[in-house]
Chains A and B, each alone.
Chain A
Amino acid sequence: MKPMLIKGGHVIDPSQDRDGVADVLIVDGKIETLGKKLSAPDGAETLDAKGKIVAPGLVDIHVHLREPGREDSETVASGAMAAAAGGFTSVCAMPNTDPVTDNQAAVGFIVKQGADAGAARVYPIGATSLGQEGKQLSEFGEMVAAGAVAVSDDGHPVVSSHLMRTALEYARSFGIPVAEHCEDPYLFKGGAMHEGTVSTKLGLKGIPSAAEEIMVARNILLAELTGGHVHLCHMSTRESVDLIRRGKERGVNVTAEAAPHHFALTHAACEGYDTDAKMNPPLREPDDVEAVRAGLADGTLDAIATDHAPHHYELKERDFDDAPFGVIGLETALGIGLTQLVDGGVLSLPELIRCMSAEPARIFHLPGGTLRNGSAADVVVFDPDARWVVDPERFLSKSRNTPFAGWELRGRVERTIVGGVTVFSGPRA
C-alpha cells in the first residue's frame, strides 16, 4: 500500500477539535500524522487539497442495502459505492433484508459482501427479534461475534414493551445499542403521510405525530428502567425531540438521529402525490423541521443518518397508497447538510462534520470518525464551494428515489479514502 500525503487542505476533525490548514500523512493505511509542511515519503501519492476540506470519513449508522432480497434495488456493493461517492467511509446496514439478518450466518454474509465491495466499510446491524416479528430475541452474542454493531427491528417497531425491555437488558451484556423505529402500530395503521392539512386535502390517511412520540416516550422510560442504551432512529417531531432532551437531562442512556429529509422538507412535498416524498416516519410540519434542526444544534439529536432506503423505480411508479415508504440519501446527505444546516445557520461546518462522523461513530462504538494518529485512514476530501445539481441518473446507487432531484447543492466529494485506499475519486463525469 502506497503512503499518501494530502497537502494543504483545510483539516476539520471535530474528534480532536482541529480546524485549520494542515497536511495529512497516511502510512500503512493509518493516519501517521497531521502537521504543517509534511514531506512525502518515497513512493507516496500526493494529493493537493488546497481550498478543500479534509475531514474524517463520514459515518452513516442507518442505511438499507437490500441484500439479500431486493438486489434489483441495491446490493451491499452498490450501496457501499454510493456511500463512498457521498463521502461516507462507514455505513451500518439495517437487517430488514429478505431473509432477515437475524443470525450469525446472515451477519457474516453482510460482512463478507462489504469486504468484497472494497468501498465504504459495511457494518451489519442484527435484528432485535427473530424475523423482526417482535416475538423472540435474536442471538445478540453470536451476531456481535460475527460483526454486528447494534440490533434493530427497523422498519417495524418492537411492539411488546416486555420484549423491548429484555432487548435493552440483554444488549448491555454486549455493549451494543438497541436502535428502535418508534411507531405505535395502531395509530400508524394504513397511514401514508403525516396527518395534517396536506393529508386532509389529498385525501390520504394520515400518520399522527403521536404515533412516533408515544414510542419515543416508552423507549426512553425502558432505557431508564434497564440502564440499556436505546438509540432512536429518524426522529421527526417536535415532541420527540423534547422527550429526548428531557431524557438526556435525567441521564437516560438515549441517543438519537435525524435524517436529512426531516430537516430539509415538510409534508408539503407530498402535494401532487409525489411518491419520492413518501417515507416513514413521514415529512412533517414546518414546526417539526425547526425542532429537528434545533435538536441537532443543541446535541439532543446526536447524529445525522440518511435512512437510505432504495426502491426499484417501478415500486415508486405507483399511486401514493401503493408506493413503498423510503428515499435514498447517501449521495445527497453532505450537500443537504451544507446547504440546509450550515448555510441555514443551524450548525457550523465543524459541527456538521461532527454530526456526520465523530458522533455516529461514538454512539455505535465504531472505529472511524477521527483523524487521530494511529487510527485507520478513513478520510473524505471535498470541495465545500463546488455547486452541483442533483441528477438521480448519475447516482451510483441502483435506485433513484430521491426527493431532492433538481436541487442545487453545495459541497462536492473529491476523494473518499478507506484504510488508506482511495475508494472514490471524483468529481463524477
Chain B
Amino acid sequence: MTGPSLGKDLLGLEPLTAEQIRLILDTAEPFKEVSERAIKKVPALRGKTIVNLFFEASTRTRISFEFAEKRLSADTVNVAASGSSVQKGENLVDTARNLEAMRIDMVVMRHPSSGAAKFLAERIPSNVVNGGDGTHEHPTQALLDMLTIRDRMERIDGLKVCICGDILHSRVARSNIWGLLKLGAEVAVCGPQSLMPRGIEGLGVTVFRRIEEAIEWADVLNVLRLQLERMQAGYIPSVREYYRVFGVTLERLERAPHELLILHPGPMNRGVEIDSRVADGPHSVILHQVTNGVAVRMAVLYLLAGGQPGLADAAKGSGREVDE
C-alpha cells in the first residue's frame, strides 16, 4: 500500500499527522452518499467482526458507530458494561483477553478512564477505535466536527475556532485542539476558569475568559455540553448563572462582527450552554454533524481494516467486493 495509512488503531488525534487526518476526512467524503441511498449498505467490511464495548452510557456515539459498521456490512456485537457496577481495570484486562480469544477483528471502546483505549490496544491484535476515553480523547467526534467545518467553510487552515465550556473534563475539546491545530486552524478555548485545565496554553491554544471576546474573535464556535454534575462538585455555582455569563445566546451572536458557525457535540442542554434559538437557527450545523458522524466512522473503520482510500468510491459505488 502506498501513501499514508492509519496503522493498527485510532486512539486519538494527538499521535496522527495532518496527512493522516486529511486521509480520514477525504475517505469520509464518498461514504456520505451511502447513507442517502434507499439501500444503505456496501460490502466493504463483509465478514469482519466488530465489538462495540461501552463502559460508559452513550446513545449517539454507539448508534453512530453501529450504523457505520452495519452500512459497511460488518457483523457487530454491542457490549454495555457500566463502569460503576464492575471493577473497571480488572475487567478491562480480562475483557481484552476474552475478546482476543473470540478472534474478533475490531473493537470500538468507550471507557471512563483516560488511557483505557491505549491500554486495550497494547494487549490485543485487533484494531481498536477509541470511542472516548475518560477526559483524554474522542477522536471520531473531532473528526466529524472537522468534516462539518470543512463542508461549510470549505477549509480548516486559517480558520479561527473556539471551543467553549467545560474544557477541564472534555475529551472532545482535547481531540479538537490536536486535530484543528494540525490542520492549520487557530484554536481558542473559553469557559469558566474553574473548568479550565492548568497549562492548556501549552497545547497551543489561546484562552478567552469572556464568551463575548470569544464570539468576537471566532469564525466557528464548538459549544460543549455542560455536565450538570459539575455543580455538585463545586466547579460552578449554578446553571442559571452559567447561561447568563457563558451561554451562547442569540443576542451575543448578533453583536458579533461576522457570521459564526455553531457546532455542538450533543446532547444539548438547551438554555444552559446554548440558546435554543441558536441551536435551531441558521448558524447551527448540529444535525449536519450527526450525519457526518456516520460517514467519518465508516471511513475510520474502512481504513483501519486496510481499505485503500482511493478505492473507497469503488467500495461503496459498485456493490462489488473490494479486493483487499
Is B319 on the interface with A (CB-CB < 8 A)? no
Q: Mark B52-89, 1 if CB is under 8 A from A, else 0.
A: 00000000000000000000000000000000000111
* Binding stretch for chain B, among A67-75, A121-129, A144-152, A314-322: A314-322
Do residues B135 and A203 form an inter-chain contact, with CB atoms below 8 A? yes
B90 proximity list for chain A (CB < 8 A)? 314, 318, 322
A206 proximity list for chain B (CB < 8 A)? 197-198
Do residues A319 and B198 form an inter-chain contact, with CB atoms below 8 A? no
Q: How many residues of A contact B (CB 8 A)?
A: 22
Q: A319 and B202 in contact (CB under 8 A), knowing A203-B133, A203-B134, A273-B118? A: no
Q: Mark A198-235, 1 if CB is under 8 A from B, else 0.
A: 01111111101000000000000000000000000000
Do residues B202 and A197 form an inter-chain contact, with CB atoms below 8 A? yes
A202 proximity list for chain B (CB < 8 A)? 114-115, 136
Do residues A196 and B113 form an inter-chain contact, with CB atoms below 8 A? no
Do residues B88 and A200 form an inter-chain contact, with CB atoms below 8 A? no
Q: Mark A152-185, 1 if CB is under 8 A from B, else 0.
A: 0000000000000000000000000000000000
A314 CB to closest chain B CB, in angstroms? 8
Q: Nearest CB to that of A186 among chain B residues?
A: B234
A272 CB to closest chain B CB, in angstroms? 8
Bound form: Cα–Cα A314–B123 in Å:
14
A356 CB to closest chain B CB, in angstroms? 35
Bound form: Cα–Cα A196–B199 in Å:
6
Q: A319 and B174 in contact (CB under 8 A), knowing A204-B114, A273-B115? A: no
Do residues A203 and B136 form an inter-chain contact, with CB atoms below 8 A? yes
Do residues A201 and B203 form an inter-chain contact, with CB atoms below 8 A? yes
Is A323 on the interface with B (CB-CB < 8 A)? yes
Q: List residues of A (289-333) whose CB comes within 8 Å of B's CBs.
A: 314, 317-323
Q: Mark B96-137, 1 if CB is under 8 A from A, else 0.
A: 000000000000000111111011000000000000011111
Is A195 on the interface with B (CB-CB < 8 A)? yes
Do residues A195 and B135 form an inter-chain contact, with CB atoms below 8 A? no
Do residues A203 and B114 form an inter-chain contact, with CB atoms below 8 A? yes
Q: Nearest CB to that of B114 among chain A residues?
A: A203
Is B171 on the interface with A (CB-CB < 8 A)? yes
Q: Nearest CB to that of A316 among chain B residues?
A: B89
Q: Nearest CB to that of B135 among chain A residues?
A: A203
Q: Nearest CB to that of B171 among chain A residues?
A: A203
Bound form: Cα–Cα A403–B51 in Å:
34
B16 CB to closest chain A CB, in angstroms? 15
Do residues A196 and B92 form an inter-chain contact, with CB atoms below 8 A? no
Bound form: Cα–Cα A161–B9 in Å:
50
Is B93 on the interface with A (CB-CB < 8 A)? yes
Q: A322 and B203 in contact (CB under 8 A), knowing A200-B197, A203-B134, A273-B119? A: no
Q: List residues of B (126-154) whose CB comes within 8 Å of A's CBs.
A: 133-137
Is B200 on the interface with A (CB-CB < 8 A)? yes
| Residue with the greatest number of chain A CB neighbours at <10 A, chosen from B14, B111, B118, B134 | B134
Bound form: Cα–Cα A314–B87 in Å:
13
A272 proximity list for chain B (CB < 8 A)? 118
Q: How many residues of B contact A (CB 8 A)?
A: 28
Do residues B89 and A319 form an inter-chain contact, with CB atoms below 8 A? yes
Do residues B137 and A319 form an inter-chain contact, with CB atoms below 8 A? no
Do residues B203 and A319 form an inter-chain contact, with CB atoms below 8 A? no
B114 proximity list for chain A (CB < 8 A)? 202-204, 273, 319-321
Bound form: Cα–Cα A57–B233 in Å:
49
Bound form: Cα–Cα A320–B133 in Å:
11
Bound form: Cα–Cα A322–B93 in Å:
12
Bound form: Cα–Cα A320–B88 in Å:
11
Q: List residues of B (192-221) whose CB comes within 8 Å of A's CBs.
A: 197-200, 202-203
Residue from the list B14, B113, B198, B203 in contact with A320, Cβ < 8 A: B113
A204 proximity list for chain B (CB < 8 A)? 114-115, 134-136
Q: List residues of B (214-231) whose CB comes within 8 Å of A's CBs.
A: none
Do residues B202 and A322 form an inter-chain contact, with CB atoms below 8 A? no
A197 proximity list for chain B (CB < 8 A)? 198-199, 202
B174 proximity list for chain A (CB < 8 A)? 201, 203
Q: Nearest CB to that of B136 among chain A residues?
A: A203
Do residues B136 and A323 form an inter-chain contact, with CB atoms below 8 A? no
Bound form: Cα–Cα A200–B134 in Å:
12
A273 proximity list for chain B (CB < 8 A)? 114-115, 118-119
Do residues B197 and A319 form an inter-chain contact, with CB atoms below 8 A? no
Do residues A200 and B198 form an inter-chain contact, with CB atoms below 8 A? yes
Q: Nearest CB to that of A189 among chain B residues?
A: B233
Q: A319 and B88 in contact (CB under 8 A), knowing A203-B136, A273-B114? A: yes
Bound form: Cα–Cα A123–B116 in Å:
40
B62 CB to closest chain A CB, in angstroms? 20
B118 proximity list for chain A (CB < 8 A)? 272-273
Do residues A318 and B93 form an inter-chain contact, with CB atoms below 8 A? yes
Q: Nearest CB to that of A274 among chain B residues?
A: B115
Bound form: Cα–Cα A273–B199 in Å:
18
Bound form: Cα–Cα A211–B9 in Å:
37
B187 CB to closest chain A CB, in angstroms? 14
B135 CB to closest chain A CB, in angstroms? 4
Bound form: Cα–Cα A264–B278 in Å:
52
B7 CB to closest chain A CB, in angstroms? 16
B14 CB to closest chain A CB, in angstroms? 8
Task: Pick 17 A–B contacts, CB within 8 A, sort by A.
Answer: A196-B199, A201-B203, A202-B114, A203-B134, A203-B171, A203-B174, A204-B136, A206-B197, A272-B118, A317-B93, A318-B119, A319-B92, A319-B111, A319-B115, A320-B115, A321-B115, A323-B89
Q: What are the nearest 9 A-B pairs in CB distance?
A: A318-B89, A322-B89, A203-B136, A273-B115, A197-B199, A203-B135, A203-B114, A319-B113, A200-B197
What 20 additional pairs, Cβ within 8 angstroms, besides A318-B90, A320-B115, A323-B89?
A: A196-B199, A197-B198, A197-B199, A200-B200, A201-B14, A202-B115, A203-B136, A204-B136, A206-B197, A208-B198, A273-B114, A273-B115, A317-B93, A318-B88, A318-B93, A319-B89, A319-B111, A319-B119, A321-B112, A321-B115
Q: Which residues of B are interface residues toward A (Cβ below 8 A)?
A: 14, 87-90, 92-93, 111-116, 118-119, 133-137, 171, 174, 197-200, 202-203
